[in-house]
Structure formats: structure tokens, C-alpha cells
């Protein structure tokens, strides 16, 4: 995902430089598309979720192994001005994170290899409200940045499960609040507008549901656990 971020950033930069060097006016596709008050579309994408941990005591970090997940959703776009749009992009995001604990967390206790690993599977129903800030259209493309707030419902959170890590169940809160930042480019062709974009999301609230035992090796040393993530979306309007 870091490589994808670098490639997309370089693409945006190269397109902007090319526009400056080759600014001759070309035939504009979908010339009046952005003048509509409301437009609709859908997106497909990839995601990679991580956790940021803060700790009570100085112990080895909990290692987070990230995986590439799948995203799909809808888009509604409200035009405010030529350069500002308000977007609502509800979607379904499926991902998995693996948490690896250091054996020192279980000092003085019996444990197995299974106790050192927690597989955290998540299915988020994601509701972002975003402000899109675009540059002037350059022939058939238009760079932009995004910023906004969102909330997610984690259908796999296990928050209501009475079993905790002592029974092999890792639990997190069902509702998560985020702020989001992103960049992208609108490309206009003869039939539709295609938009690749990349976005970072950052949780605001602590998501960890503590175990019953306050000295639990899985949750006792954690002050906060917050999601971070990267989205690579491909939008069609």
C-alpha cells in the first residue's frame, strides 16, 4: 500500500507538470459533467487497516500484521462551487489484522503459541462525509484533495460477546469515529468520469474492549487502541 501511495503521488505530480508543459487546449470530454448539482456513482477498491497502540508500561510492542482487504460502495456528490463538492460515500470494507504478542506479556503464566496470536477479522459499514477541493480542470483531468469525518459500524467487533481473550475472543467496539484525508485525480473520457484516489483514515476513539481480568496479558497494558488505514479507491461516475 505504501508503494501504491508513492506511485499515485508521482502520477499526480507528473500529470500536473505535463499540464504546465503541454497546456495546449484539447477537446474536453464530458465538459458539462461537473456543472450538475447532484451526481452519482460507485467505487471499488483495496484497503489496508492497522492499529496504533499506546501502552501503560514499557514492554515490547504488540506487532500488527496487515492484510489487503476489499472495498465497495456508492457515491453521491453535491456541487457547491466550481472547486468545492460535498460527498457522501457509504461502503462495505472487509479486512483482517493479525496481532502478535511477545512472550514477555505472559511472564509467570502458562501459555501456548495460540495465545500469542489474535486474528482480528473486521467487516465495516463505513459512512464518510467529505469535502472535495479541486483545482481548475486541466483538459481532461482535475486533481483534488479530500478531507472529512466518518463513522463505521464494525459488524465483527464481538463487543457484546461475554467471552474475552481468556476464551480466545478478541473484542473491539462496534462504533468507530474517524477523520480522513486523501488525494486523487478525476479523468474524463467520452462515456464517464474515472477517479483513482488514495486516502488515509485515523480513528478518534479508543476501540479496545478490555478483558475481565485487569491484568490480562492481552489488554492489561494497553492504554488506547485506534485504527489507522489506507484506502485505494477506483470511482466511476
What pLDDT is attached to residue 45? 96
Percent with pLDDT over 90 in the chain: 67
What pTM, to 2 d.p., does this model score?
0.83
Q: How confident is the model at residue 189 (pLDDT cuts 50, 70, 90)?
A: confident
Which residue range(s) make up the domain with 188? 2-236
What pLDDT is attached to residue 139? 85
What are the pLDDT digits (tens) for 8-66?
Answer: 555 555 555 454 434 555 667 777 778 889 999 999 999 999 999 999 988 899 999 99
The total number of structural domains that make up the chain: 1
What are the pLDDT digits (tens) for 121-171?
Answer: 999 999 999 999 999 888 888 999 999 999 999 999 989 899 999 888 999
What pLDDT is attached to residue 14? 53
Let me know: does 38 contact 76? Beta carbons within 8 Å.
yes
What are the pLDDT digits (tens) for 79-106?
Answer: 999 899 999 999 999 999 999 999 988 8
Question: CATH number for the domain including 70?
Answer: 2.40.160.20
Amino acid at each position: 500500500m505504501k508503494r501504491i501511495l508513492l506511485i499515485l503521488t508521482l502520477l499526480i505530480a507528473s500529470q500536473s507538470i505535463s499540464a504546465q508543459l503541454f497546456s495546449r487546449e484539447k477537446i474536453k470530454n464530458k465538459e458539462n459533467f461537473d456543472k450538475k448539482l447532484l451526481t452519482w456513482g460507485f467505487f471499488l477498491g483495496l484497503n489496508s487497516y492497522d492499529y496504533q497502540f499506546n501502552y501503560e508500561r514499557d514492554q515490547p510492542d504488540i506487532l500488527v500484521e496487515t492484510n489487503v482487504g476489499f472495498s465497495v460502495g456508492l457515491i453521491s456528490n453535491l456541487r457547491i462551487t466550481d472547486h468545492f463538492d460535498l460527498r457522501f460515500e457509504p461502503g462495505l470494507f472487509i479486512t483482517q489484522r493479525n496481532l502478535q504478542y511477545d512472550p514477555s506479556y505472559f511472564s509467570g503464566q502458562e501459555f501456548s503459541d495460540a495465545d500469542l496470536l489474535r486474528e482480528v477479522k473486521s467487516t465495516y459499514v463505513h459512512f464518510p462525509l467529505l469535502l472535495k477541493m479541486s483545482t481548475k480542470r486541466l483538459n481532461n483531468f482535475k486533481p483534488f484533495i479530500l478531507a472529512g469525518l466518518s463513522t463505521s459500524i464494525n459488524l465483527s467487533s464481538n463487543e457484546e460477546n461475554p467471552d474475552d481473550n481468556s476464551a480466545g475472543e478478541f473484542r473491539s467496539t462496534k462504533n468507530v469515529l474517524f477523520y480522513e484525508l486523501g488525494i486523487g485525480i478525476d479523468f474524463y473520457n467520452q462515456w464517464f468520469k474515472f477517479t483513482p484516489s488514495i486516502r488515509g483514515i485515523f480513528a478518534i476513539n479508543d476501540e479496545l474492549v478490555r478483558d475481565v481480568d485487569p491484568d490480562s496479558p492481552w489488554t492489561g497494558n494497553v492504554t488506547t487502541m485506534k485504527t489507522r488505514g489506507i484506502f485505494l479507491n477506483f470511482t466511476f461516475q
